[in-house]
Every structure is written in structure tokens, then in C-alpha cells.
């Protein structure tokens, strides 16, 4: 069963889950936190603890960078217009229902497509299944997510849980070669423009050098022809250089062919300088390359998918597991130094508990209900397994913070998490109530609302822990003693656990002999005249509110007449400055 929390306890639950969520690196990992919603089933709590004990040590902070690189790999259906499926009439319906490409029964029509797939022995042989018809739809997402695969491979090495990612990356290499050619195709215009420019520079240079070897007269002659743009005349006289230029063009085209993986002839031979490429020849080349590549890519994808296909289910599992690791890492970081509480009967106790949201808190040990043997902190002898405790003591002593700490420990325990204490013993609860001190001190409204909530908390049966912060602030002390007295008697009769913060400890103690009164006390003033408070409550001892320390501080910090008065007050406490 899920234990019930009142709104203020719920706010603490939300603050705790927010702490874990803010440590997650990936969207989607939150789902794992939902598996840790509150439960009071001791078996379930133990199982969760066992799971965390085994799995938390597997994650390390160094994994965070890798985890954050993992992206979901989605395989999506798409209609591919570069291929046709040539099939028998009887297969048309089934082929069309796949919705992956054009379908025809006419071989002539099929010839128009770069890729012809067929069950009839034309083109590439296929069966009517997506892996055969559109293997790229599986391969492309994997290729684009190589970063994810590399991260998975490294995470696998770190956890010792072997990943399939390295095998997939290996298999993808061949497909990568085709993808590489495809990226060259995308920059075809620049590639050719670059070659054209390079070629013209080379030819220009050749021409310039050549002119230097002419005699003065020849030079004048050729300069005139050059000026007139009459290159043909020059070339006629010097057919040697024409050959050289043709050789330069051939070499440039050869280099392009190597780069593009197909025979390229794009530079005109008629006009040798400057060399130009006609836009139509680039377009023609592009179409040719696209056709060739489409088929090549299809074949590479199909071959690669045969190796990778069986690994995909494991890959999906691994990506899900990374979300789990992300969650575990967040929990590990949040619960660093915490301990797993034992399932206990008859209350809650903890050693050296540390408030989650106070920086460098003083650790505090506490018990409500049955005291474990091991809780042998100083003063614990005074504990008589009381289920009803009145917490008293110095202003700003840490009473509210202690109620918060108890709530935090309870909530983490009921989630199955470790708790911020050196050791803890906790009984699963049906209900947890935390009533904060109400800000509106005056007005019957606040009093009525608070009283109603307490009475509601005391209704019914079950294991309950009720934490109340200073109820008397909203009514007169006399009435408060009567009301609290009666409420706590009801709580005791029903076996509920209660911690109530009150300054009326003395009066309540008389009224409620079964209750324990604990006190937090100030020990003195430090060199800056701040109160030194020992946050550890003393069991069974009323906490003095030590107003004389405040008087002492005022006496020490004031002058003249004021000081005289403070000193007189101090003397009445039996103290001097």
C-alpha cells in the first residue's frame, strides 16, 4: 500500500524527488523514479534496497558525460521514391500495404527507377519485407547516431555489461564509405568549381612562363595576339603547349573521377583557356552519380543490415539501460554518504541524521517509539520507548529542522532509498503528517483550521506518525495545554507516534506522564556573541529557552543607561557580564 502524506509532508516528498530529477542528464530517465513511489510494504522496501545495493556501485561520476551523449535511435517508416518493386499481380496488395516504395507489375515502367527490386528475378532479388525493400531506414538512424553508439560502447566497458555497439560500429564502416561518397556528391558544385579554378591557374601560369622564352620580336607579335584574345593562333604555332594543357585537363578530370568513384568528363576541349564547365554537364554528372549511389547505398545497407539486424533488440535494451544508469547515478550522487535503514517495528530511530537542505548540518540522533540497542548516544538511557514526545527548547534551536529531518528520513525510507543518517531503524507507516507552524498567529480561522487538521489526523486506525510544530502559537497557552493534552491522549490510546514542538513542556509533562519531554539547549555565546546551540536534543530533559543569554548579549553590546539595566536583569539571573 501507498502511505498517505498530508500536504506539508508531500511538499518535502516533492523537494526530494526534485533533487534527484535535477541530477538526471537525459529526458526520459524520470520514468525510473516512478518505480520508487512511496510504499509501506516491507518486502517491497527490502527489494528496492537490494536492487540499489547491487546497482548503485555500478555507476560512477565519470559516466555522466557519456550518458548525456546517448540519444534515442528512432527507426521511422518512409516512402522511398528512388526504387520500384516489380512483382506479380498476386503480390500487389501486400506490397502496397508496406507503403515503402512504388509498386508495379510492368518491367518497362520499372526501368525508369534507379533501384529495381523484384520477386520475379529482375533487378535485385527481394522478399516482401521491410528489411529487404528499405534497409536504409534501419541503417541511416544508426549511422547518424554513431555518437550514441560510441558512448554505449564506452559505458559498456565501464559497467562490465558488454555492449553490442562496437559490433554495430564495425559493421557500419562499409556503409560509411558509401555515405562518404554521398557527402562528396552534396558538394559537387564547389568541388568542380574548385578544380576549374585550379586548372585555369595552372594553365595561366604555363602560358605566362611560356611567353618568357620568346625572342623580342616574337614576343611583340604574340602579345598583340594575346591582347586580341587570339589564343588559337598561339596554340597553332605552339602545339606543344596545347598538348600540355590537354594533359592538365585530363589529369584534373582523372582526379575528379577518383574522388567521385566514376569516370568524369566535364571540361570542354574546344576552348582551352580559360577552361569552363557547362552547368548541364554538372547536372548530368549529378544525375548519373545519384543513380549509381542510390543502388550502391541500397546494396551496402542490405548487406550491413544482415549483420546488424539481430543486434537491434539488444541495442534498444541498452539505450533503456542507460536511462536506468542515469537514474542510478542521480540517486548515487544525491545519497552519497547515506545508509540503508533497517525495517523496524514500533517507531523510528536514527544515528547521526543530517538534514538534507541545511549546509553542513550538525548531525542529530533521535528516537520516537521503541529504541534500538545500538542507539547508545549520551543520554539515551532516559528513553523509555515513548511514542509521544514533546520537543522543547531554545529559539532557533533546530526544532522545526528536526521535524523536517524526521519527515525526510521517513519519505526516503518509504521510497526504498538510503537515508541521510549513519544508521536508521524505521517502521513502515500508513500515514505521515507534518504540521508546520502557521504564520497567521491571530484569528479564529487559523486556530479552527489547525484543530480540524489534527483531529482528522487522529481519526481512524493504522500506523501513523504525526509531527506538529508549535500549535500553541495560535491560541492562548492555557487553552493550548488542555487541547494538546487531550489530543496526545487520544494519539496514545490509538498507538500513534507523535512529536510536538512546544514551549509548554512543563505544563504538558504534568498532564501527560506517559510522554517524553526532550530539550534543545543553547550552551553559551561565541566570540561574536552568537548563541552556540547544541542541535542534539537531550532526551527526557526540558529544554531551557535561555533568555539570560540574550540578555547577556544585549548587556555586552550596549552602553550607558541601557547597559546598566541589562546588567541588573542579568544579576537577577544570578549572573554577571
Ligand X SMILES: Nc1ncnc2c1ncn2[C@@H]1O[C@H](COP(=O)(O)OP(=O)(O)OP(=O)(O)O)[C@@H](O)[C@H]1O
Query: Annotated binding site, which residues?
Result: 393-400
> Which is closer to ligand X, CB of 175 or CB of 433?
433
Distance, CA of 322 to chain centre: 10
CB of 550 to ligand X, least distance (A): 13
Span of 98-106, 297-305, 357-365, 408-416 interacting with ligand X by CB under 6 A = 357-365
Do 314 and 99 contact (CB within 8 A), yes or no? no
Residues β-bridged to residue 433: 466
Do 149 and 318 contact (CB within 8 A), yes or no? no
DSSP assignment of 390-459: EEEE-TTSSHHHHHHHHHHHHHHHHHT--BSSSEEEE---SEEEEEPPPS--SSHHHHHHHHHHHHHHHS
Do 67 and 329 contact (CB within 8 A), yes or no? yes
CB of 454 to ligand X, least distance (A): 18
Q: Binding-site residue total for ligand X (CB under 6 A)?
A: 13
The Cα 346–Cα 354 span in angstroms is: 22
Distance, CA of 267 to chain centre: 55
Span of 77-85, 207-215, 395-403, 511-519 interacting with ligand X by CB under 6 A = 395-403
**Residue 13, φ and ψ in degrees, nearest 5:** -60, -45
Interface positions, 511-540, toward ligand X (CB under 6 A): 535
Span of 68-76, 204-212, 237-245, 396-404 interacting with ligand X by CB under 6 A = 396-404
> Which is closer to ligand X, CB of 234 or CB of 390?
390
Rule CB under 6 A: say whether 69 interacts with ligand X: no
DSSP state of 473: G
Task: Tell me which of 397, 519, 537, 543 binds ligand X, using CB under 6 A.
Answer: 397
> Which is closer to ligand X, CB of 262 or CB of 362?
362
Rule CB under 6 A: say whether 358 interacts with ligand X: yes
CA dihedral 78, 82, 88, 94 (to 10 degrees): 0
> Which is closer to ligand X, CB of 195 or CB of 423?
423
Do 152 and 165 contact (CB within 8 A), yes or no? yes
| 354: helix, strand or coil | coil
CB of 379 to ligand X, least distance (A): 16
Do 158 and 62 contact (CB within 8 A), yes or no? yes
For the beta carbon of residue 31, count every other beta carbon within 10 angstroms.
11
Scan for cell 602545339, then name that residue: 239
Rule CB under 6 A: say whether 362 interacts with ligand X: yes
Task: Tell me which of 398, 418, 505, 537 binds ligand X, using CB under 6 A.
Answer: 398
> Which is closer to ligand X, CB of 330 or CB of 364?
364
Rule CB under 6 A: say whether 399 interacts with ligand X: yes
CA dihedral 229, 230, 235, 238 (to 10 degrees): -100
Do 146 and 168 contact (CB within 8 A), yes or no? no
Angle, CA of 278, 280 and 284, to the nearest 5° = 125
CB of 406 to ligand X, least distance (A): 12
Rule CB under 6 A: say whether 365 interacts with ligand X: no
- CB-based closest residue to ligand X: 398
> Which is closer to ligand X, CB of 225 or CB of 395?
395
Rule CB under 6 A: say whether 400 interacts with ligand X: yes
Element (H, E) at 253: helix 239-260
Question: Closest Cα partner for 504 from 479, 536, 535?
Answer: 479
Do 423 and 351 contact (CB within 8 A), yes or no? yes
Task: Tell me which of 63, 117, 168, 364 binds ligand X, using CB under 6 A.
Answer: 364
CB of 522 to ligand X, least distance (A): 11
Span of 49-57, 121-129, 165-173, 355-363 interacting with ligand X by CB under 6 A = 355-363
| 484: helix, strand or coil | helix
Binding residues for ATP: 393-400
Rule CB under 6 A: say whether 119 interacts with ligand X: no
Task: Tell me which of 361, 379, 485, 540 binds ligand X, using CB under 6 A.
Answer: 361
Task: Tell me which of 209, 396, 440, 530 binds ligand X, using CB under 6 A.
Answer: 396
Interface positions, 150-179, toward ligand X (CB under 6 A): none
Site string for ligand X, 228-247 (x = CB under 6 A): --------------------
> Which is closer to ligand X, CB of 126 or CB of 473?
473
Helices (H), 128-187: 130-133, 136-144, 146-159, 165-186
Rule CB under 6 A: say whether 395 interacts with ligand X: yes
Which stretches of the chain bind ligand X, using CB under 6 A? Answer: 355, 358, 361-362, 364, 395-401, 535
Amino acid at each position: 500500500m501507498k502511505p498517505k502524506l498530508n500536504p506539508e509532508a508531500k511538499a518535502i516528498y516533492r523537494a526530494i524527488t526534485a533533487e534527484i530529477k535535477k541530477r538526471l542528464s537525459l529526458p526520459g530517465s524520470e520514468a525510473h523514479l516512478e518505480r520508487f513511489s512511496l510504499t509501506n510494504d516491507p518486502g517491497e522496501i527490502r527489494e528496492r534496497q537490494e536492487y540499489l545495493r547491487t546497482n548503485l556501485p555500478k555507476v560512477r561520476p565519470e559516466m555522466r558525460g557519456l550518458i548525456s551523449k546517448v540519444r534515442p535511435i528512432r527507426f521511422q517508416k518512409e516512402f522511398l521514391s528512388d526504387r520500384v518493386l516489380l512483382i506479380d499481380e498476386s503480390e500487389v496488395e501486400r506490397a502496397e500495404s508496406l507503403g515503402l516504395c512504388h509498386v508495379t507489375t510492368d518491367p518497362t515502367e520499372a526501368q525508369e527507377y534507379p533501384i529495381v527490386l523484384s520477386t520475379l528475378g529482375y533487378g535485385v532479388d527481394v522478399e516482401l519485407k521491410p528489411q529487404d525493400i528499405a534497409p536504409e531506414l534501419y541503417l541511416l538512424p544508426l549511422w547518424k547516431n554513431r555518437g550514441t553508439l560510441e558512448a554505449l560502447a564506452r559505458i559498456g566497458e565501464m559497467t562490465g555489461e558488454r555492449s553490442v555497439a562496437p559490433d554495430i560500429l564495425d559493421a557500419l564502416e562499409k556503409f560509411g564509405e558509401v555515405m562518404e561518397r554521398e557527402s562528396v556528391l552534396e558538394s559537387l558544385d564547389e568541388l568542380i568549381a574548385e578544380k576549374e579554378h585550379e586548372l585555369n591557374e595552372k594553365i595561366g601560369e604555363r602560358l605566362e612562363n611560356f611567353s618568357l622564352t620568346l625572342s623580342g620580336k616574337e614576343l611583340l607579335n604574340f602579345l598583340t595576339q594575346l591582347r586580341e584574345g587570339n589564343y588559337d593562333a598561339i596554340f597553332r604555332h605552339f602545339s606543344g603547349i596545347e598538348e600540355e594543357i590537354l594533359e592538365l585537363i585530363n589529369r584534373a578530370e582523372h582526379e575528379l573521377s577518383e574522388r567521385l568513384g566514376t569516370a568524369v568528363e566535364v571540361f570542354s576541349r574546344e576552348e582551352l583557356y580559360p577552361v569552363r564547365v557547362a552547368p548541364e554537364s554538372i547536372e548530368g554528372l549529378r544525375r548519373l552519380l545519384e543513380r549509381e549511389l542510390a543502388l550502391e547505398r541500397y546494396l551496402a545497407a542490405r548487406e550491413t543490415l544482415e549483420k546488424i539486424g539481430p543486434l537491434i533488440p539488444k541495442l534498444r535494451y541498452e539505450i533503456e539501460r542507460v536511462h536506468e544508469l542515469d537514474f542510478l547515478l542521480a540517486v548515487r550522487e544525491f545519497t552519497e554518504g547515506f545508509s540503508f535503514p533497517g525495517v523496524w517495528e514500533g517507531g523510528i530511530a536514527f544515528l547521526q541524521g543530517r538534514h538534507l537542505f541545511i549546509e553542513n548540518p550538525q548531525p542529530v540522533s533521535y528516537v520516537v517509539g521503541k529504541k534500538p540497542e545500538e542507539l547508545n548516544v549520551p543520554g539515551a538511557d532516559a528513553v523509555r520507548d515513548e511514542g509521544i514526545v514533546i520537543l522543547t527548547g531554545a529559539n532557533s534551536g533546530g526544532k522545526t529542522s528536526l521535524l523536517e529531518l524526521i519527515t525526510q528520513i521517513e519519505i526516503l525510507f518509504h521510497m526504498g532509498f538510503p537515508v541521510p543518517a549513519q544508521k536508521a531503524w524505521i517502521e513502515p507507516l500508513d500515514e505521515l503528517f507534518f504540521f508546520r507552524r502557521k504564520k497567521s498567529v491571530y484569528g479564529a480561522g487559523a486556530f479552527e483550521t489547525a484543530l480540524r487538521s489534527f483531529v482528522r489526523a487522529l481519526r481512524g486506525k493504522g500506523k501513523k506518525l504525526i509531527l506538529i510544530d508549535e500549535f500553541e502559537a495560535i491560541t492562548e497557552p492555557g487553552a493550548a495545554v488542555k487541547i494538546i493534552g487531550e489530543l496526545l491522549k487520544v494519539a496514545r490510546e490509538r498507538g500513534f507516534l507523535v512529536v510536538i514542538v512546544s514551549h509548554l513542556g512543563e505544563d504538558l509533562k504534568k498532564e501527560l506522564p506517559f510522554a517524553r519531554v526532550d530539550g534543545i539547549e543553547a550552551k553559551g555565546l561565541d566570540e561574536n556573541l552568537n548563541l552556540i546551540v547544541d542541535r542534539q536534543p537531550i532526551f527526557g530533559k526540558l529544554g531551557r529557552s535561555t533568555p539570560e543569554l540574550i540578555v547577556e548579549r544585549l548587556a555586552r553590546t550596549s552602553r550607558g543607561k541601557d547597559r546598566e539595566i541589562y546588567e541588573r536583569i542579568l544579576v537577577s539571573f544570578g549572573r554577571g557580564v
